[in-house]
A and B are shown apart, each in its own frame.
Chain A
Amino acid sequence: GAGVSQSPRYKVAKRGQDVALRCDPISGHVSLFWYQQALGQGPEFLTYFQNEAQLDKSGLPSDRFFAERPEGSVSTLKIQRTQQEDSAVYLCASRPPGSDTQYFGPGTRLTVL
């Protein structure tokens, strides 16, 4: 079946612009995670949803970062007033009920100029 999809795959933004990154999880997966991966580093946890509830946002680096999942399926990660240090790959993962295996999307590579 279809895996986790993310769009866009690549995004170039000028410093100060707002961006929105989309994640389509696998159907039926109630848990959804966002990660930030800097070049040469492992994924860093940003936030976690169970259905539409955002249960953990402790990893969001600043109040410029905002995530939502209003209907418990598609999720959007929004970054306001982007800065150069926001340049990274943003990964989304979903997880089915009763499992601890996360299924990752291909990521969105954000470059802030």
Chain B
Amino acid sequence: AQSVAQPEDQVNVAEGNPLTVKCTYSVSGNPYLFWYVQYPNRGLQFLLKYITGDNLVKGSYGFEAEFNKSQTSFHLKKPSALVSDSALYFCAVRDAWSSASKIIFGSGTRLSIRP
């Protein structure tokens, strides 16, 4: 069965500092991996995905994520945090075999950027 783990409920970073939000996954085959962000009273916004190819993928708002197959990790990163990055971040995984496959979400990590 597929699963995603986000070990940190909350990450606190000062504005301008680099940030990392951790994610590890477990799948039986090749994974499709995603990061979504949820702002208060809003839906889930797609940030980036890994399907195949380069292990470093770039997404919206300056975010990037590094796929590490040996460590089964897909950590979200940003070189310089902004206060507006404060939100709830979800790592997610999907089976590659079917376009109709469900997405399995992690429990979420609340990112708080202090001025």
Determine if chain A interacts with chain B. Answer: no
Interface residues of A (CB under 8 A from B): none
Interface residues of B (CB under 8 A from A): none
